[in-house]
Structure 1
Amino acid sequence: MAISLPVLSANAAEYTDLLDAADDFDDFDKDTYNPFDFNLEPSFQYDISSAKISREAPCVPNRADYAGQPGVMNNPRLVEGQGRCSTPEMVYNREMDYEYSQSTLNLALRAGLYKDLELRIDVPFVIGSSATLKYADGVDAANSSVDPSNDRVNADARNVFTRGNPNDVNLRELDGFSMYRYFDLANEGSTYERSGFADPTIGLAWAPFNDQRDDTKATLLIGMDYTMPIAPIKRADNDAVGQGQHMLHWKLASSRQFDWINPYFGLEYFLPLLASDSPMRKSYPGNQGQVIENAPMRGDITIGTEFIPFEDAETGARYAIDLRFTMGYVSEGRDYTPLFDHLANSQCNRKTLGDVMPQFDTNGNLTNPADVACAWIVQEPGNASPNAAYDLSTTSKSTPFQTDGLMTVEDYATFAGQLGVYLQPTEYFQIKALVALKHRQEHFLTNSRTGRDADDALEVTPDDTVDLTGPDAALERNPVYNATFDSSGNRFRVQEYNTWSFLVNAALQF
């Protein structure tokens, strides 16, 4: 027995829907003439994210087999045991749990300009965001490689440094020290909050084909948005939320309604261009070693279908359920990460080379373990202020070092699913409710290259290697490379990174 369904008037899916103006649908009927369309759309969105942050560690099946190799035996993060590795390899030790939440109020203004041409302006305000890092289960100051106890810092320093040595000797021994405290996890203060206006967006979208206007063709949408970096940029010394990027967003989408279903497809590309005051734009005259200087680009492919159980062309009433899946790719780039707020607010910021040099009492114990644990801050040339410090032996002992908290992030894929419900009782009012889950593929959060070899004609000592020390280091060493967390075996990696999003939107349609 066949079930007969009513044939509904064609209408674009929400993903491809545009407002129009000066539109008579070419029938010159005054009853259908639409001089303008204007929507005022307030919305509230709540995002909550969670992730696990691990760190690379060398693993050997049996420590005794490497007794003659101090580079292995002295590594404080060495993992031993057949249960973790059957051959020497890198493994990941879970270090921290990450939690993030954000509440955003957005006001969208949409206006039909002419026919199927729409102007849209979005003004978002972040009511509040909260980023938290804490020890993972089973991790504390006794075994953490992020926030170790002073006793562990003292023990490592006694093994590496010789009491009574001058600072120039201690500098040469610094590479053997590894018990760093990057930020505080043991005490309160591991949560950082931000709020304020985010960067607004203005965009144009045009539909050269519209299945409501011509039911022999699918709706085709072409759009471009521009996000303006006019909000205060988030930095270590503020609680702002601006990104400091001119974001260009292109969208190509199509939909076609068949009776009570409306499948759609879309391609999107996001290109960030750094603002003049972006912290990512930091550069050093003559240096050619920074391989990655830009924020990550992004591309998305979206497929979905709207199911329309009821639609009335005369009253404008329409109810729909939207199922959507998006697969994306995020390129390698300099970016804000789950570590950003904690590194940018680390107690190690503004430490000097003189501060982090070990000082011992008469019993051979450190008198400044909290300062020595911050020695990682001086291992990144770009942390020195006001100029990069490529040779610590010639750097003033009073030069302050401070990280901007940004990292070079490995490329990764994203996968997202969304369920939406659209309720439109009249042509003048609509309410939307959405829930979405986004998963980011695991990837390295600290992935800077050591640098880049320059042309021999520019080098003081021509060779085919990247010089990390000596006269060519300022030319070839990456100023944002920090061996303590960017080198292989020390990198941080994010895993099980998921974000739930909940959104409620109301549209007043004029």
Structure 2
Amino acid sequence: MLRLRAILAALLLGAPLAASAADITRIASSFDEDDPFDLFIDVGFERTQSREKIVREQLAGTELQEASEVWHKAVDSRLNLKLAIGLYKDLEFSFGLPLILQQNDSYNFVSGTNDANSTIVNNCLNPDGTLSSTACPSSLFTIPQTSKRGGLGNMHFGMAYAFFNQQRDDTKPMWLVGLDYEAPTAKVRDPSEDNTAVTNTKGNVGDGVHKYTFYTSLSRKMGVAEPYFKASYTLPVLGPGFYSNCAHPETLGTPENCGVGKWNRKETGIHAPQVASFLFGSEFTAFRDTNKDQKFALDIRTIGNYVSAGRYYNELSAAMGKLLSSSDFFQVGGQVGATASAGEAFTLRASGTFLYDTDHTLTNESLGVTPQDAAANPSNPDINPNFDYRTDLTTRRFRATESTTFRLELSASFAF
């Protein structure tokens, strides 16, 4: 142990390190004359809390209205571990692994809604649209309730290359392009499992989907300011262990169509959304001591995300016990952060992020045929087995409104 401590101390105090850049364009680079090897180890804590009001469409005469039903609150706390190694000049390989401490979903009535007037509680329909012959009313789900999940998340592998490096040529900006691959290594979540306080068990957190994120980022040091920009696109691809609602067809409208015709497992399973993102902002150096390699900087950025339509684990999935089809929506917001370096080898970062989601539908499954054809032939094999007449039919759909997210991140970075 004494020998190991001595080696670490020598690396921390004596290793030649690359000059600092904006965090968003930081890259590990090796085989430089004054910096033969770069290694970054990041350890961080992240807590994300989101809240939205879930409303439901109702037909009042000939007018479509929305009835306020429940508040949904989601809390995600995790430890993020990341390792970045310089493979060559301006070429980086990275590996990341999140440990998800909690991933909880809670549902409670909004003010003015209760068991007596909630359309969720006072339901008399079966998923196929017929009247329930056993219990009326038959609640769609229990309110209040809290479901819990946790465990190791998906592994991340990344490659990045800097086409321009301002630290080498101060006439050019920092310009990175990269690929982040999220492998479906976490145990796949089964939304039909009861992970509430009744069972006192934690569910899994995986989705069984490969995710490829292509990105580019630029920054330019100009005095105390270093403005930057980043754009990215995430492409999801089904993995071998993805979940399909047909694995537990009891909540489906036409379960007999599972596996029939075009309704194979791929078609009825998860359809993860594509995500296009951009952010721009600037770091502002408030203090710098070049002799001691100390620095304090503020980071302010604007964030925008577009999330496409898809069938996945959305805000209502924990309650309904299945994958649900969401419409597309935008996320807009910003982040304020601070970075403090006690030397080139150690950096602390803290940030707070606020995001607002545009209103979007949470139960938007397609029937697969026209309503007239479905009424004429309820056993039509072209009817989408995922379609639930209780929630996917116009005048019964659920929507997320007033959606806000706040994220707090604290991290420490060690450079070797």
Q: TM-score range by the shorter chain?
A: 0.7 to 0.9
Residue from 277, 287, 302 that aligns with 2:262 = 287
Residue from 142, 159, 172 that aligns with 1:184 = 142
Distance change >3 Å, CA 335–CA 173, structure 1 → 2 = closer
Distance change >3 Å, CA 296–CA 327, structure 1 → 2 = same
Distance change >3 Å, CA 10–CA 304, structure 1 → 2 = farther
CA shift, 1:125, in A, is 0.5
Whole-Å separation in 1 of the counterparts to 2:309 and 2:136 = 27
Q: Which amino acid aligns with 2:157?
A: I
1:7-48 CA-partner distances (Å, limit 9, x unpaired): xx9853111111111112xxxxxxxx1111112211111111
Residue from 188, 193, 197 that aligns with 1:233 = 188
Q: Which amino acid aligns with 1:501?
A: R
Whole-Å separation in 2 of the counterparts to 1:318 and 1:114 = 27
| Cross-structure match for 1:213 | 168
Whole-Å separation in 1 of the counterparts to 2:278 and 2:137 = 44
CA RMSD after TM alignment:
2.7
Whole-Å separation in 1 of the counterparts to 2:376 and 2:333 = 45
Whole-Å separation in 1 of the counterparts to 2:129 and 2:187 = 41
Give runs of aligned pairs for residues 345-356 of structure 1, distance below 5 A: none
CA shift, 1:309, in A, is 2.0
Distance change >3 Å, CA 145–CA 277, structure 1 → 2 = same
| Cross-structure match for 1:48 | 49
| Cross-structure match for 2:109 | 135
Corresponding position: 1:23 with 2:53: no
| Cross-structure match for 1:303 | 280
Aligned length: 375
| Cross-structure match for 2:339 | 422
Whole-Å separation in 2 of the counterparts to 1:178 and 1:334 = 29
Distance change >3 Å, CA 131–CA 288, structure 1 → 2 = closer
CA shift, 1:139, in A, is 1.0
Give runs of aligned pairs for residues 100-499 of structure 1, distance below 5 A: 100-148=74-122, 174=131, 179-185=137-143, 190-235=145-190, 236-237=192-193, 239-280=203-244, 284-287=259-262, 294-313=271-290, 315-344=292-321, 405-452=322-369, 466-467=373-374, 470=377, 473-474=380-381, 476-499=382-405
Distance change >3 Å, CA 172–CA 337, structure 1 → 2 = closer
8 A contact 1:414–1:440 mirrored in 2:
yes
Whole-Å separation in 2 of the counterparts to 1:10 and 1:406 = 47
| Cross-structure match for 1:369 | none
Whole-Å separation in 2 of the counterparts to 1:116 and 1:100 = 39
CA shift, 1:477, in A, is 0.8
Distance change >3 Å, CA 144–CA 472, structure 1 → 2 = closer
8 A contact 1:11–1:257 mirrored in 2:
no
| Cross-structure match for 2:199 | none
1:258-298 CA-partner distances (Å, limit 9, x unpaired): 11101111111011112222114866241369699621100
Q: Which amino acid aligns with 1:135?
A: F
1:298-346 CA-partner distances (Å, limit 9, x unpaired): 00011111111233455432221110111111100011112112222xx
SS in 1 for 2:89: coil
Whole-Å separation in 2 of the counterparts to 1:123 and 1:132 = 26
Residue from 65, 68, 76 that aligns with 1:91 = 65
Whole-Å separation in 1 of the counterparts to 2:31 and 2:86 = 9
8 A contact 1:124–1:200 mirrored in 2:
yes
SS in 2 for 1:341: helix
8 A contact 2:52–2:403 mirrored in 1:
yes
Between structure 1 and structure 2, the one with the greater Rg is: 1
Q: 1 or 2, which has the higher helix percentage? A: 1
Whole-Å separation in 1 of the counterparts to 2:170 and 2:41 = 29
SS in 2 for 1:15: helix
SS in 2 for 1:342: helix
Whole-Å separation in 1 of the counterparts to 2:149 and 2:376 = 39
SS in 2 for 1:438: strand
What is the TM-score normalised by the length of structure 1? 0.69
- Percent of residue pairs bearing the same amino acid type: 29
8 A contact 1:274–1:281 mirrored in 2:
no
SS in 2 for 1:127: strand
Distance change >3 Å, CA 125–CA 212, structure 1 → 2 = same
Distance change >3 Å, CA 468–CA 424, structure 1 → 2 = farther
8 A contact 2:391–2:397 mirrored in 1:
yes
CA shift, 1:175, in A, is 8.7
Whole-Å separation in 1 of the counterparts to 2:292 and 2:162 = 24
Q: Which amino acid aligns with 1:299?
A: A
8 A contact 2:358–2:403 mirrored in 1:
yes
CA shift, 1:470, in A, is 3.1
SS in 2 for 1:273: strand
8 A contact 2:210–2:238 mirrored in 1:
yes
Q: Which amino acid aligns with 1:449?
A: S
CA shift, 1:423, in A, is 0.3
Gaps of 5+ in 2: 1-17, 194-201, 247-257
| Cross-structure match for 1:389 | none
Whole-Å separation in 1 of the counterparts to 2:336 and 2:141 = 39
Q: Which amino acid aligns with 1:443?
A: H
8 A contact 1:225–1:248 mirrored in 2:
yes
1:378-397 CA-partner distances (Å, limit 9, x unpaired): xxxxxxxxxxxxxxxxxxxx
| Cross-structure match for 1:14 | 23
Whole-Å separation in 1 of the counterparts to 2:185 and 2:263 = 30
Whole-Å separation in 2 of the counterparts to 1:435 and 1:113 = 32
SS in 2 for 1:473: coil
Q: Which amino acid aligns with 1:12?
A: A
8 A contact 1:48–1:500 mirrored in 2:
yes
